[in-house]
């Protein structure tokens, strides 16, 4: 089997006495959507922060396409093809939508020590930015000031910005957070569309979305993976039922 795009081995992170990541192994291949579920405080976002590089693990190795990226800063990992979206919307609020995405394209294509030519007229950047916006269905909002849009649109913009860096692997931190059912359904469609040509690590509380999208699910409790497997297996797993899904869990039939 081909080497996984993202491979995490023996990852550990703790804050004082609290263990956020406990000797975690994880692999995501191209064309695979790997969902991480678990109760609040299970260490899901901490995990994404370590893979994306904004948090340094205490121990363990993170590889991207076989290359050890554990010590690289976030911007370097992004340039190698690892992009993330944020749980709490993180955009350039005072920029128009198209510029939010164009800056991501620009970051990826390299040349930002250009001081003279107006960037707004750069047709190449704008065309690629627009392509990303189209993929998430935001092309019609291109000239809106990003901060003025709705929450659902912010979530879509998050994805478009991650896409614009032309990644091989995507880390999506609760892309459906705070969305209504219609917006969620739309986001499921968008993510399913991306699944084919990316390796996606998805953190999500919306179980309907997770079971609709994921090829593989890992259940995280107190930083430890208590189960990992295809959705059907996870659904039938007793330990998972007890530890997480429980009686209050979603209808898994």
Partner 1 sequence: MAVSLRSGVTLGVLAGFAALPILTELFDQPYYLDIAMRMMCLAIAAVSLNLALGFGGMVSFGHAVFIGIGAYAVGIPAYYGEYSGFIQIPLAMGAAGLFALVTGAICLRTRGVYFIMITLAFAQMAFFALVSIEEYGGDDGLVIDTRSEFGGLIDLEQTATLYYLILAALIVSLYLVRRIVASRFGRVIRGAKSNDERAQAIGLDSYRYRLACYVISGALCGLAGALLGNFTGFISPDMMDWTRSGELIFMVVLGGAGSLFGPVLGAAAFLILEEFLSSLTIHWQFIFGPLLILMVLYGRGGIDGLLGDRTGGDRHG
| CA–CA distance, 31 with 33 (Å, rounded to integer) | 7
Joined tokens for residue 17: 């006495």
| Residues between 157 and 186 that touch partner 1 (CB under 8 A) | 161-162, 164-165
* Binding piece for partner 1, criterion CB under 8 A, among 57-65, 105-113, 130-138, 206-214: 105-113
Instruction: Decide: is 56 part of the binding site for partner 1 (CB under 8 A).
Output: no
Are 161 and 106 spatial neighbours (Cβ–Cβ below 8 Å)?
Answer: no
Q: Among residues 162 and 217, whose Cβ is nearest to partner 1?
A: 162
| CA–CA distance, 169 with 194 (Å, rounded to integer) | 10
Instruction: Decide: is 54 part of the binding site for partner 1 (CB under 8 A).
Output: yes
- CA distances 103 to 95, 123, 169, Å, are 10, 13, 19
We find the least distance from the C-beta atom of residue 102 to partner 1, in angstroms, to be: 8
Instruction: Decide: is 83 part of the binding site for partner 1 (CB under 8 A).
Output: yes
Q: Among residues 103 and 225, whose Cβ is nearest to partner 1?
A: 103
- CA distances 216 to 50, 62, 199, 203, 210, Å, are 20, 19, 12, 12, 9
Instruction: Decide: is 99 part of the binding site for partner 1 (CB under 8 A).
Output: yes
Instruction: Decide: is 112 part of the binding site for partner 1 (CB under 8 A).
Output: yes
Of the candidates 2, 16, 40, 111, which one interacts with partner 1 according to CB under 8 A?
Answer: 111
Are 160 and 103 spatial neighbours (Cβ–Cβ below 8 Å)?
Answer: no
Q: Among residues 35 and 160, whose Cβ is nearest to partner 1?
A: 160
* Binding piece for partner 1, criterion CB under 8 A, among 31-39, 91-99, 186-194, 225-233: 91-99
Are 60 and 26 spatial neighbours (Cβ–Cβ below 8 Å)?
Answer: no
We find the least distance from the C-beta atom of residue 250 to partner 1, in angstroms, to be: 31
| Virtual torsion, Cα 205, 224, 28, 151, nearest 10 deg | 20
Q: How many CA atoms lie within 13 A of 64 on its CB side?
A: 26
Instruction: Decide: is 149 part of the binding site for partner 1 (CB under 8 A).
Output: no
> Which positions lie near partner 1, rule CB under 8 A?
52, 54, 73-76, 78-79, 83-84, 86, 90-96, 99, 102-104, 106-108, 111-120, 122, 145, 161-162, 164-165
């Amino acid at each position: 089997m081909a080497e996984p795009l993202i491979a995490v081995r023996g990852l550990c992170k703790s804050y004082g006495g609290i263990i956020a990541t406990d000797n975690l192994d994880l692999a995501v291949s191209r064309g695979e959507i790997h969902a991480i579920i678990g109760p609040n405080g299970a260490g899901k976002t901490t995990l994404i922060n370590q893979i994306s590089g904004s948090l340094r693990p205490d121990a363990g190795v993170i590889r991207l396409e076989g290359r050890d990226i554990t010590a690289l800063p976030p911007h370097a990992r992004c340039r190698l093809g690892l992009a993330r979206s944020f749980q709490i919307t993180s955009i350039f609020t005072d920029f128009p939508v198209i510029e939010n995405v164009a800056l991501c394209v620009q970051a990826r294509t390299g040349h930002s020590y250009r001081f003279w030519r107006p960037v707004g007229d750069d047709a190449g950047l704008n065309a690629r930015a627009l392509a990303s916006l189209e993929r998430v269905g935001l092309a019609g909002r291109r000239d809106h000031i990003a901060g003025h849009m709705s929450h659902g649109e912010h979530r879509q913009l998050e994805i478009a910005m991650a896409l614009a860096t032309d990644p091989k692997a995507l880390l999506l931190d609760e892309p459906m957070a705070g969305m209504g059912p219609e917006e969620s359904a739309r986001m499921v469609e968008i993510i399913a569309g991306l699944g084919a040509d990316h390796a996606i690590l998805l953190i999500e509380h919306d179980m309907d979305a997770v079971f609709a999208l994921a090829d593989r699910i890992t259940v995280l409790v107190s930083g430890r993976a208590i189960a990992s497997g295809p959705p059907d297996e996870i659904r039938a797993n007793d330990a998972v039922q007890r530890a997480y899904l429980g009686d209050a869990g979603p209808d898994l039939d």
